[in-house]
Structure 1
């Protein structure tokens, strides 16, 4: 365990690992090992093993890969490498249209605002679920088949909450508080939005992610949530994010790409 912690780079592994960057590096490893193996099979196998170990512990194969990726990859490739999902990938209703049709948001003179009744119902549902097991809460979001739920696993850590099906990550939340907020909002949207059952799991989590911008109270302590903007480094790019944090308990609740804040603009 000590050896594992000593060599692992948490910035690019674990919950912070980029799946698409990992695939990119695996392909590079296979190609390099295959090319070397044509001349020396043993050396090629050695390079393959070392490459896999590097990707597992460090998150990438070549030192400086994240910096090189940000500097030299074309913009359209960087967009493909991004982590943040679009509303419904252009195939379904937008986040805004879902929330407006559900009566969760309303159009004001200059801005959208959240329905007070929904806000209170949302808060009550969160309070009712604080002591529930995470594995049970995942199913309340919906959009997953019974077989998928049987194979699902939810892990909580200091880095947030990660949900996986058959060891493949399907969603990640920056904190357990936001996970609770999403689950509670999903239950309330099921009652208010007639087409909620037609949305996939990914579409639901995208809608729930957009709704976080209207989270005014902390899911942990009921304190006041404030929004701020920061510049953060990812493995592939430098991005602007909106950060939600609690004024009372100082917990950092969530990050959203700044472009997602257009809903509240």
Structure 2
């Protein structure tokens, strides 16, 4: 019996396509083919019998499992015709903002959705109107807050009010490569790095002192504003390095897309990552 199992395994290995299975499996392609397989089984069951439909579905599932797709030319067809939003969902799940610690309440007004940094003069036109720059007052307040907080996470949490809880209740998790905060076991916030969190904490302190009504804004709007403010960071909060923008092209199973990142090379800290469509 051992030789029979070995022979069966060898046959499966010959049929299996490693380019589109295992770690290389394209989830959008698999999803499209699964929908097609179910539709095909439905047609077979309607035209023939439920048993034939079940056999068709089982055969299609086996082909998708071993080959990665059922429809010839699937990777090209998926890249060409599947909407970018659908592919992004398969690749990363539902879209997230730069700072996801501030869920938007139901009563957020249109005013809350405006760019509050521009509206309140935190960002002003510069270079002849071709760009936006931080005002000197906000830059000084942000720098002072960065100096005061340093790399002290507890101080950052307690002084910034980024998370509505006592500092003794915070739990920080960096095991996944980012910086996550939870309170009593519930997710409260996530940043791309400890350095990004410290930058936002200092930014919250600065905006609270320089922007009227900061704490009256929705938590969602404050989160977006801090993510935008982070783009103007001129030094890393932990090592003092210079954050730099980098652009690259990222290849996925079904497409290529531009990715813009803001990182500190000296301490390998990520501040912003924007993935194009």
Q: Does 1:137 pair with 2:149?
A: no
**Structure-2 separation of matches of 1:223 and 1:79:** 32
Q: TM-score, normalised by structure 1?
A: 0.57
Q: Does 1:83 pair with 2:95?
A: yes
Unaligned runs of 5+ in 2: 1-66, 69-73
Q: Does 1:201 pair with 2:213?
A: no
- Give the aligned partner of residue 252 of structure 1: 269
Alignment of 1:18-97 (within 5 A): 74-77=83-86, 81-85=93-97, 91-93=109-111, 97=115
**Structure-2 separation of matches of 1:235 and 1:175:** 27
Aligned 8 A contact 1:102 1:189 in 2: no
SS at match of 1:119: helix
Change (3 A) 1:232 1:127: farther
Q: Does 1:110 pair with 2:135?
A: no
**Structure-1 separation of matches of 2:162 and 2:110:** 14
Change (3 A) 1:158 1:83: same
Q: TM-score, normalised by structure 2?
A: 0.55
Aligned 8 A contact 1:84 1:257 in 2: no
Decide which moves more: 84-93 or 173-182: 84-93
- Give the aligned partner of residue 172 of structure 2: 154
SS at match of 2:174: strand
**Structure-2 separation of matches of 1:93 and 1:78:** 32
Unaligned runs of 5+ in 1: 1-62, 260-265
SS at match of 2:188: strand
Which structure's CA Rg is the greater one? 2
Aligned 8 A contact 1:143 1:197 in 2: no
| Number of positions where the alignment pairs a residue of Structure 1 with one of Structure 2 | 196
**Structure-1 separation of matches of 2:254 and 2:185:** 24
